[in-house]
Amino acid sequence: MHKKSIACFLSSVFILSACGGGSGGSTSSSENVASASGKVIDGYISGATVFLDLNFNGVLDAGEPQTVSGDFGDYTLQLSSADRQCLGYAPLVVDVPAGAIDEDQGEVDEPYQMVFAPPFEQVSDREFFNISPLTSVLWTAIQDELNADLTDLTCADVLDQEQKREQLRSILETSIVEVVSHYNISEAQLFSDFVANGDVATQAKAISIVKGLKKSFAETARLKNEYPNALLVRADYHQFDERDAGDQYPDAWYLEFHLINETRQIFRLDKVSDDLSEVVRPIIYGEVGRLEEGDLSYYDSFEFESRGGDGSNYSCDSKEGVITVQDGKTYELTNLVNKQATEFAECQAVDFTTETYMRYAFVEFSDGTSDYSSQFIYLPPDTDLMPLSDWLGLKSQLDTLDSAVLVDTYEGLPYGYSEIGMGGADSWHKRKAYQEGENQVALYKNDSGQYEKTTTYPDGTRTTECSSDGENWEPCS
């Protein structure tokens, strides 16, 4: 996509006023210095609550400017000077209640929510914000990024962090390209008043999207009741997902599920039936968990996916590990299971005690001038030399594992950068990083006798050199 302001498609009016009154803003008239206008569109919807979501939580909170859409979906949102600054950096959200009126479809039977994703740049004084199912599709990608960060983001945070703004702008632009491509519409149509334009084809696509928005709203509400202590829980029903064999299933429906609590994160993408009532086929499943047991931190992760289309095999990648920090050194043991499966259930049947095919042993430390890390790789059951060979199926024996045993065992490995030996491993990698004047230098070497040196300069550029002895360097081939 060519680089240009997303806001250039938000045609018509953004009204500045000295101290406007108007339709239901949360600030008093003496505080209002501006007003943002637009339309709520599926058909035109009256009786929907529009608000500027200053803390990105999708809920109308006290102090957030709000109004109610009127005839032809028109709304005008009164803004204080602080709110005016946030207009280009926080989402506009519409809560459409049951009983609201869609001028084309009649009375709304199920509540749902629509969102206008901000351009994450300052908007001009001549802008008009149409909020529709199509603009809501764009917001999903932004939500996924915020979920990944697990950050309580606010408008103030976005204003203060240029790097975050650039990151979110990039994600939004990528999402625009994907939506335009999938729905075969232009960027202008994406942000347009397709009702006024008589664009029947685009309106039909928007109506189809509402089916998923309604189900997403209801299912997310149910999940919040089911998981009241979750840091995040969300369901998103949408049509088409390129992660399922690219463009092979343009009309299929999908459920994307996110759950994050104090000890676990779960992500799932499932293909669902056309009536959105049941899972037809799991596509991606990801789960990460963490527990603390004394001086040991336990973690596990499960990544299962089948992206080759209906009938394709699943790849199943699973990890379990423990970490302890003693005297400034970090010691970590990781067991890995990797297999292929014809059914999703086969991926879930993970037995680390019998299926572990690889182990990583890590040691990381600093001597005050350089940072060091070493990784030893073992391939059980081919080697009888793997230390702690009974440390498999860690979760079931977590209360009996002793961090001192892990430390003592790893202290017997030749993990020093200049030390020689395999420690019973099938292979190893070592790294040394240090500052050399204004430059950052990282040295890598492995058991094959290959060396690599990367120098990063103050301007961000870097050079990489290779060596067979760690002394004489030349550009890598």
Give tens-digit pLDDT for 129-138: 999 999 998 8
CB 37, CB 77: distance < 8 Å: yes
Sequence length of the chain is 477
Q: CA separation (Å) from 360 to 32, 158, 363, 379, 412?
A: 60, 39, 10, 9, 15
Q: Is residue 410 pLDDT above 50, yes or no?
A: yes
Distance CA 36, CA 22 (A): 11
Give the pLDDT mean for 297-326. 97
Residue with tokens 């500045």: 16
The alpha-helical segments, DSSP class H, found in 14-132 are 81-86
Sequence letter at residue 439: N
Phi, psi of 406 (to 5 degrees): -60, -45
Q: Rounded to an integer, what distance in angstroms lies between the CA atom of residue 384 and that of residue 33?
A: 75
pLDDT at 123: 86
The pLDDT, as a whole number, for residue 155 is: 92
What is the C-alpha to C-alpha distance for residues 113 and 228, in angstroms, rounded to an integer? Answer: 21
Say if residues 360 and 334 touch (Cβ distance below 8 Å).
yes
Spatial contact of 97 and 116, defined as CB atoms under 8 Å apart: no
Q: What percent of the chain has pLDDT over 70?
A: 90
Mean pLDDT confidence for 102-123 = 93
Burial zone of 127 (CB within 10 Å; 0-12 exposed, 13-18 middle, 19+ buried): buried
pLDDT of residue 22: 37
User: Alpha helices of 60-199 — where are they, by DSSP H?
Assistant: 81-86, 133-149, 155-160, 162-183, 187-190
Gap between the Cα atoms of 54 and 62, Å rounded: 10
The first and second tokens of residue 150, run together, are 């697990």
pLDDT at 10 over 70: no
pLDDT, tens digit (0-9, with 9 covering 90-100), for 211-226: 999 999 999 999 999 9
How distant, in Å, are the alpha carbons of 199, 371, 444 from that of 440?
Answer: 57, 11, 13
Distance CA 215, CA 332 (A): 43
For the ranges 151-160, 197-206, 248-257, 429-438, which has the lowest average pLDDT? 151-160
Q: What is the pLDDT of residues 161-214, one digit of tens each?
A: 898 889 889 888 988 988 888 888 999 999 999 999 999 999 999 999 999 999
Question: Rounded to 5 degrees, what are φ and ψ at 248?
Answer: -70, -30
Residue 414: pLDDT band with limits 50, 70, 90: very high
Q: Is 471 helix (H, G, I), strand (E, B) or coil?
A: coil
Give the Cβ contact number of residue 51 at 10 Å.
22
Q: Compute CA distances 264 → 230, 231, 345, whole Å.
A: 10, 10, 20
pLDDT (average), residues 67-85? 94
Q: Looking at residue 19, what is its pLDDT?
A: 31
Q: Is the pLDDT of residue 407 over 70?
A: yes
pLDDT band at 401 (very low <50, low <70, confident <90, very high): very high
Q: How far apart are CA 257 and CA 277, in angstroms?
A: 14
Structure tokens at 144: 């996924």
Structure confidence at residue 148 as a pLDDT band (50, 70, 90): low
Residue 12: what pLDDT?
A: 32
- Average pLDDT taken over every residue of the chain: 89
Angle CA(301)–CA(313)–CA(378) in degrees, nearest 5?
45
**362: Cα separation from own chain's centroid:** 27
Q: Which residues in 144-166 are b (16+ Cβ under 10 Å) and which e?
A: bbbbeeeeebbbeebbeeeebbe
The reported pLDDT for the residue numbered 7 is 36
Quote the pLDDT of residue 77: 93
pLDDT band at 449 (very low <50, low <70, confident <90, very high): very high
